[in-house]
Chain A
Amino acid sequence: MREDRPPPTPSRGGAYSPPPPDQVLENVLEHVLQFLTFRRDRNAAALVCRSWHRAEALTRLELFIGNCYAVAPRRAMERFRRATAVTIKGKPRFADFNLMPPDWGANFTPWVTFMAQCYRALEKLCLKRMFVTDEDLELLASFPSFRELVLICCDGFGTSGLAVVASKCRKLRVLDLIEDEVTDDEIDWISCFPEGETCLESLIFDCVECPIYFEALERLVARSPSLKKLKLNRYVSIVQLYRLMIRAPQLTHLGTGSFSPSEIVAQGDQEPDYSSAFDACRSLVCLSGFREIVPDYLPAIYPVCANLTSLNFSYANISAEQLRSVIRYCHKLQIFWVLDTVCDAGLQAVAATCKDLRELRVFPIDAREDSEAPVSDVGLLAISEGCRKLQSILYFCQRMTNAAVIAMSENCPELVVFRLCIMGRHLPDHVTREPMDEGFGAIVKNCKKLTRLATSGLLTDRAFSYIGQYGKLVRTLSVAFAGDSDTGLKYVLEGCPRLQKLEIRDSPFGDSALRTGLHRYYNMRFLWMSSCRLTRRGCKEIAQQMPHLVVEMINGEEEEVKDDYVDTLYMYRSLDGPRADAPSFVTIL
């Protein structure tokens, strides 16, 4: 029973009266609803009737805000008064690729300010693509039960904010900084953790591009017996890694830092036995880091390979041969991230061993559209033939064929996420010279569980007709430099019944296509269209017809008169109308 339930109606005369019937119902409901964890289930329960709505609101512990501007902090927090874990997502994903000017928004301050009043019992916070200041972190650190902070792709704060969190959050268990931009305020934040045993379970700071004071880190690890996840930044050398590992053999997740020595190591120098340190970590299942790897040290990880379920080599410039020497032991691998320096041959080695692979990401070492990418359709085909359980793939390449993509669609029916990035724009099948329509068509046709798709290469409107028609479960679609005309976008907006997030850049879709989506924009989280053929008038029409849609026009520079096309359209549903914090380069129609 929760102590802070609304009290039963007072009875007369001091005698006990049973609570009125609807109170009983509410009590029962609250008990039952506690078992509902999935957001979708909770949302459904809340729609049944008023008392269910109320009961659900009181029992929801995890609050998820998919778009920070879809609802005002006050409204969300007043409905769900007892939430102790909050997740908020801010900027749209294309902001990661510099397609949005800085200072666009997604400020965390209004949220934390309200939390300071309403959510003092907050325990967990996860923010993605939000602008978080040091002051925000300071305020968070004052919440007495706060114990878990996860920041993904955030910016606006620095090591001084981290220092406050470290020193004031006495119950901190998780501090995960993932792909954030952290300014170097030249504060030794690691030293700010209080003395004595900590309850730290996870400390992830591989993205923090500031040197750290190693001795403080070593002492911290030594006094954190619950530490299971530790991901170091590239300022930690391999010798320092060794010293940390021998103090924390209980680690399950390790990010190795630079994986290279800090100075030139001469022949015959006495180096620690790195292999034995890895051997001592009997529980290690997830390995990453290798930020500046010297491949000579790779054999050190052999002892843990057989247990690894996740291996991230995406910062490791290694060859096919070097990869082969490691991957041949990784039979249990489920998640594998790698650089294309391993070439098709490296991927063939993966396909030969990793029969349980679920997720593969192949990143380019040279991320330019005219680079010579060493992986191709050959690697993709090999993976499809060897890794039949594949669920998620992200693949950067230059040369691709429809045949390989079709083969993957047939060999890997479990695919949920298919993201292919042919880096050269508008590149066709490099063998047949045809558009990549048939390949992507096969993916949507054959992969019945597909929820996320990212396209690339030369694509005509036909590709979109396939996507619209067969992409029954697709929730997220990313399109770039594709399509012939409005018809392409119309196919998607008239199809894809589950579409939630649509992001499009540099494609010839205009106002007429935009209009065809009117019936569904309230059911989507957002639509992003940049460098397309939208006019201001077309966007304004949408804004006028859909009052609960916030239609933002984002301009790169100040308003240009000669060009009627909109730079960027970003529109999303909102319960609380247009935001008050839009900068001058954003026009809300």
Chain B
Amino acid sequence: MEKPTSYESEDHLNLKATELRLGLPGRDESDKQSSSSVRNNKRASSEMEGALDVENEERDCAPPRKTQVVGWPPVRSCRKNCFQPKKIEADASGVYVKVSMDGAPYLRKIDLKVYKSYPELLKALENMFKCTIGVYSEREGYDGSDYAPTYEDKDGDWMLVGDVPWEMFSTSCKRMRIMKGSEAKGLGCL
């Protein structure tokens, strides 16, 4: 009766999900339910958000570190965001930011809290938009790739991602835009 809802990133075969196992995910490993677990073909709807949804269901491991499934529990973001510990007064940027990429048909949203550093964030963006952003350098920006990640800060200015310390970035970032092509190259030459 339980459905394993784990998946790994689309690059890997989803071997865990095809494994037969007994028991419920996570919390209650000792409880044996007799139904067989069924092959999970679902991609979690978390892809819409870009958040990770990884569950470790090994029975003999410590209780899994669960990252959140999208939209569960069903609490609207205006309520959820009220009690985030990192929330700053007045000018609060919020935790979810919109990310647009030049040429993409629709925007995505990511939760900056999930990431602890720039490399993590850039990797996630590369996965989400199927592009290569490359490595940041103070001198060259993101020269070497066709894309440059930029963000709008609290003052409404468009900045290159990577110049300021992570903490400062994640609290002042209001939205992001992955710039492409000549515009991006131009930034790299600044």
A residues with CB within 8 A of B: 94, 96-103, 153, 179, 181, 207, 209, 211, 235, 291, 314-315, 317, 363-370, 396, 421, 423-428, 433, 458, 460, 480-481, 483-484, 505-506, 508, 530-533, 556-557, 560, 563-565, 567-568, 583-585
Contacts and interface: CB of A to CB of B under 8 A. Distances in A.
B116 interface: no
A557 B47 CA distance: 7
Contacts of B41: 533, 563-565
A120 B72 CA distance: 42
Given A102-B109, A531-B42, A563-B43, A211 B70 contact: no
B177 to A, nearest CB: 15
Contacts of A508: 3, 38
10 contacts: A101-B106, A369-B69, A369-B73, A424-B26, A426-B2, A458-B24, A506-B5, A531-B42, A557-B47, A585-B105
B71 A99 contact: yes
Nearest to B91: A211
A505 B35 contact: no
Nearest to B92: A209
B54 to A, nearest CB: 13
A565 B14 CA distance: 15
Contacts of B3: 481, 506, 508
B69 A102 contact: no
A253 B93 CA distance: 30
Nearest to B27: A424
Interface stretch (B79-87, B140-148, B161-169): B79-87
Contact of B71 (A97, A421, A565, A585): A97
B105 A583 contact: yes
Given A97-B71, A484-B35, A583 B45 contact: no
A94 B72 contact: no
Contacts of A557: 47
Interface in B39-85: 41-45, 47-49, 66, 68-80, 82-83
A314 B79 contact: yes
Contacts of A421: 73-74
Given A102-B107, A103-B107, A556-B45, 14 more contacts: A94-B74, A98-B70, A99-B71, A102-B98, A364-B73, A369-B68, A369-B69, A369-B72, A423-B72, A458-B24, A484-B35, A508-B38, A531-B43, A567-B45
B173 to A, nearest CB: 15
A433 B3 CA distance: 18
B1 interface: yes
Nearest to B74: A97
A179 B78 contact: yes
B28 interface: yes
A405 B73 CA distance: 20
A478 B31 CA distance: 26
Which of the listed residues B2, B48, B79, B109 has the most CB atoms from chain A within 10 Å of its own CB? B48
Nearest to A459: B1
B149 interface: no
A291 B98 CA distance: 25
Contacts of A506: 3, 5, 42, 44-45, 69
Contact of B45 (A99, A368, A428): A99
B25 interface: yes
B179 to A, nearest CB: 20
Nearest to B65: A370
A460 B24 CA distance: 13
Given A211-B90, A369-B72, A508-B3, A98 B43 contact: no
Interface string B155-182: 0000000000000000000000000000
A364 B72 CA distance: 12
B31 A428 contact: yes
Q: Which of A98, A483, A506 has most chain B Cβ within 10 Å?
A: A98
Nearest to A565: B41
A530 B43 CA distance: 10
Contacts of B92: 209
Contacts of A530: 45
A389 B43 CA distance: 43
Contact of A363 (B38, B47, B79, B98): B79
Contact of B48 (A100, A366, A370, A564): A100
Given A433-B28, A531-B42, A531-B45, A102 B106 contact: yes
Contacts of A101: 48, 106
Contacts of A98: 48-49, 70-71, 77, 109
